[in-house]
Amino acid sequence: MVAAFAEFEKSLIVSRLSAGRKTKARQGGYAGGKAPIGYRANKGDKVLQLDEEKAGTVKRVFELRDSMPNASLQKLADILNAEGHTTKEGKQFYPMQIKRILDRRSLYEGRYRYAGVEAEGQHRAIII
């Protein structure tokens, strides 16, 4: 009986948290989690803060993709590494990290997307 109530309470908590994140997303606010490269998430802030240094790296990824649309992700990673760009953790780029940046184009253009909700973000856009 106690286990059933605990499971019910857990599902209520999950439901409330999810609804809160969706509401935040509708307002264009940051719903939590690890901030993508180019941004910082400061504890207590409701908006992603721009990381100027890494924002330049994000711009470079999109410049490369626009100038070489048929280049492989590995080629893009190789170019970034040769130019001295690093990931948020200060490591070299791999194709999957390039893909994640490219897949988040709408975020980098100033829109926020979460769980099927898309809104104009409160954060500064990196690419225009």
* Model pLDDT for residues 9-42, shown as the tens digit of each residue: 888 888 887 777 777 666 667 766 788 999 998 8
Q: In sequence order, which residues have a C-beta less than 8 Å from that of residue 94 and are 6 or more positions away?
A: 77
| CATH class of the 2-120 domain in this structure | alpha beta
Closest residue by Cα to residue 36 from 103, 115, 82: 103
What residue type is 115 in one-letter code? A
The answer to whether 25 touches 31, Cβ cutoff 8 Å, is yes
Model-level pTM?
0.77
For the four alpha carbons of 82, 84, 90 and 96, in that order, the dihedral sign comes to negative
What residue ranges do the domains of the chain occupy?
2-120
The answer to whether 41 touches 35, Cβ cutoff 8 Å, is yes
For residue range 38-95, what is the model confidence (pLDDT) as tens digits? 999 887 777 889 999 999 999 999 999 999 999 999 999 999 999 999 999 999 999 9
